[in-house]
Structure 1
Amino acid sequence: MLNTAPTAPRPLAVLVKRFPKLSETFVLEEVLGLERLGLPLCLYTLAPASDELVHPQVAQVRAVVVGVPARLRDAPGAFAWRHARLLAGAPWRYLRALREALRAGGPGARAFLRGGWLAAQLQDDRAAHLHAHFVDEPADVAGVAAVLAGLAHSLSAHAKDIYLAPPAALTRRLGDASFTVTCTEANRAALQAAHPQAVVRRMYHGIDATLFHPAHRTSPALVPRLLSVGRLREKKGLDTLILACARLQRQGIGFTCDIVGYGEQQAALEALIDQHRLGGHVRLLGKLNRPQVLQRYAQASVFVQPSRVAADGDRDGIPNVLLEALACGLPVVATRVSGIPEVIEPGRNGVLVPPDDPAALADAIAALLAHPGQAAALGRAGRATVLEHFDNTRNLQTLIGLLETLHAQPHACAAH
């Protein structure tokens, strides 16, 4: 595929906003999966890592991470030299990319500046192809860099980057890319509607089912433990979970609930817990790394994914934590939002309820706690679903196949 040199394969370049990022385990899993499959990678970031806590698996990544300077004043000499080199090497290509960028105004000019820096780096690193995660800022920078470097580029689309993007910008980004992959069928349909001629393929995220395994589960606790993991933001619906917990408490059902995550709704959720006097039942645990989250999966009785579509249109795709919980054999209660029904088949491998419905969520949780045999059967079926449809190595063949098809075409890079 990318092995165009007889002795040293040219690497696949991957552009992300930040790496590593605690909440973006799907990027980490993709990078590790591609490296396990033998692809040499170069990783580029648009912003420095901001999480003090990191997953231990980050240490397994072999690719060197290179940061793209954010502003001209951060590296004026490097920007000037790299852009001058690109202009001298391919003046018409450079001027065409500049003209297109300027049409987009300020964001286009910034993307052109950073894209030029990245293009020169791609040439120095002998990259064969550029793949960018998120169809917002990284897509703009990747589009410029690919043109200036004479490469094809592709995109991975996820959630917020799709549903909060200006329609015209989203259409342009999809059209500029050789292809786009996305993690749910719901996303694929939305992207295809935005640009019917674009090449868009569904590629489910995959997880390591040997790491997330029922063998790690501990004996059931005397008091059932609910678990939810995710950023503390509107689309996660964690206020609905807290209200459901209040109903369970009023019904005299014994339980505890751990919520793992961080974000802008921390204070509001703490206030809601206090308002309903749930301090002895519901805990906000903050940031945890993967071994710590694995411990929570091992101790949990039921996993809850109460996602919703936020007021601004933001939504989940298929949360990786949902797949992790299923792989661990946990019974799951989730909501009918976005790509979640592509995973959960009610009554077979989990329970689905409407979003923003604390009563329905509480009733579903209570039913699972009251019928542990049924809950265990759902957990076993949930793991089987992950093994069949969400294996990381198998799902990455979609991306590899698209790359192989593209680069088997004569002049594939030059055409884009």
Structure 2
Amino acid sequence: MNSLVPAPLGVLVRVWPKLSETFILEEVLGLERKGVGLRLYALDAPTDAIAHDAVARVRSPLQRVAAAVATREMVARHARLAAAGPIGYLGALATALRRGRAGWRDFVRAGWLAAQLRDDGVRHLHVHFISAPADIAQLAAHIAGIPFSISAHAKDIYLSRPLDLRRKLQAARFTVTCTEANRATLAAIAPQAPVRLMYHGIDREVFHPSRRTGAPAQEAPLIVAVGRLRAKKGLDTLIDACRLLHERGERVRCEIVGYGEEHDALARHIASAGLADHVRLAGKLPRDQVLECYARAAVFVQPSRIAADGDRDGIPNVLLEAMAMGLPVVASRVSGIPELVQDGVNGLLVEPDAAPALANAISQLLRQPQQAAAFGERARATVAGAFDNDVNLGTLVGLLATSHVCGAQCALVGG
């Protein structure tokens, strides 16, 4: 590789593209805008039939990591790596075998990836999610003789064993995570590991108050929620709150955008509450249609909870999007959400699983439009001040430059 050409940064994800992982899409687009050369690697093929239109703007090449099967190419790649760096290869193999069968499968895939990283001239690998993807990244980096780093998010932290988290945190050059609550959790598990807070950011020009149209005057005010249909999202609590509002005689409609394993249970909940004409499961939508939902909404609701298995949100990107649009928001006092929503300042916070409190907060915003508008303006200002994508990515670029990964290129774009 020409020494005058900066080495690309490798970025490993589980799936690319993925409809619900707009934070990764925004990061890739932001790094490209900053001039950082990227190579994208995905462990699995996409499962969504649709994709956000912004995916088409990504210029970086993508490679799918081969499955853990003994093909001729897989064997050839491993043989080449073992011959070129036997110490690193055997060290990674020993690390993998201590994890049993899962470790062996990861090692096979990591060898394929390590060979590809060398062929692509990648000198640093950055992986999203500290769960299974980071296991493969740790092995691939060890085999390839390069450093790796981690972006840790939510489920991947709270559903992982502390021992596994510690191993990867200590092996990584650095770890970034998207809430202070996450950072404190990881720092307690591995006090000596470098863990930095890096909030997700969004494109404030895409999510802009000028897009808001409001609902037609003859229609009831629209409540919107967006997210995977999972227990941790607390959407059953939102349905209960809508039932309470209707029982009080308040005219409201609700659209819940998203998909997931809770779909049928939520549909039954809507029917049993007698809300079939008022609460709609909108399903899986691309970003332009999600923007239309924000545009028509009167209130955005994020009724998150900590699920029975410990899973929880960090700071949902959809909450950032709604606030950037100038929407008044009601959210649960869970995990990293209070780092974004200040109760009574730029939105309202309620306790999780508290349908009466959620209904009261929604009603307050609908009945007090001037307060709701003031919250929306402050919400937009909060996102602009602390959750700008290009600004926050400076943290990642600076860490890469400090660790001498992309040298002058990162120093230049991070400045």
> How high is the TM-score relative to the length of structure 2?
0.96
Equivalent of 1:320 in 311, 317, 320: 317
Task: Report the counterpart of residue 187 of structure 2 in structure 1.
Answer: 192
Instruction: Give how far 1:343 is off.
Output: 0.3
- Equivalence map 1:380-399=2 (5 Å): 380-399=377-396
Task: Report the counterpart of residue 343 of structure 2 in structure 1.
Answer: 346
Task: Report the counterpart of residue 239 of structure 1 in structure 2.
Answer: 236
Task: Report the counterpart of residue 217 of structure 1 in structure 2.
Answer: 212
CA–CA separation in structure 1 for the residues paired with 2:45 and 2:72: 20
Q: Determine whether 1:208 maps to 2:207.
A: no
Using a 3 Å threshold, how does the CA distance of structure 1 residues 399 and 409 change in structure 2: closer, same or farther? closer
Letter in 1 for 2:80: R
CA–CA separation in structure 2 for the residues paired with 1:186 and 1:48: 31
8 Å contact from structure 2 (residues 43, 64) kept in 1: yes
Using a 3 Å threshold, how does the CA distance of structure 1 residues 95 and 6 change in structure 2: closer, same or farther? closer
1:128-185 CA-to-partner distances (Å, cap 9, x unmatched) read 2100000011101000110111100000000000000011111111111010000000
Q: Determine whether 1:48 maps to 2:45.
A: yes
Identity %: 58
Task: Report the counterpart of residue 280 of structure 1 in structure 2.
Answer: 277
- Equivalence map 1:105-124=2 (5 Å): 105-124=100-119
Instruction: Give how far 1:409 is off.
Output: 11
Q: Which moved more, 1:85-94 or 1:306-315?
A: 85-94
Task: Report the counterpart of residue 258 of structure 1 in structure 2.
Answer: 255
Equivalent of 1:145 in 140, 145, 150: 140
Using a 3 Å threshold, how does the CA distance of structure 1 residues 115 and 63 change in structure 2: closer, same or farther? same
Equivalent of 1:333 in 330, 335, 344: 330
Q: Determine whether 1:12 maps to 2:12.
A: no
Equivalent of 2:59 in 56, 59, 62: 62
Letter in 2 for 1:333: V
Task: Report the counterpart of residue 167 of structure 1 in structure 2.
Answer: 162
Q: Determine whether 1:90 maps to 2:85.
A: yes
Letter in 1 for 2:378: A
Task: Report the counterpart of residue 410 of structure 2 in structure 1.
Answer: none
1:38-87 CA-to-partner distances (Å, cap 9, x unmatched) read 001000011001111100000000111100112215xx111100100011
8 Å contact from structure 2 (residues 214, 297) kept in 1: no
Instruction: Give how far 1:338 is off.
Output: 0.4
8 Å contact from structure 2 (residues 226, 256) kept in 1: yes
CA–CA separation in structure 1 for the residues paired with 2:406 and 2:128: 24
8 Å contact from structure 2 (residues 400, 406) kept in 1: no
Instruction: Give how far 1:316 is off.
Output: 0.3
> How high is the TM-score relative to the length of structure 1?
0.96
Task: Report the counterpart of residue 375 of structure 2 in structure 1.
Answer: 378
CA–CA separation in structure 2 for the residues paired with 1:35 and 1:128: 17
8 Å contact from structure 2 (residues 200, 317) kept in 1: yes
State the number of aligned residues.
405
Letter in 2 for 1:287: K
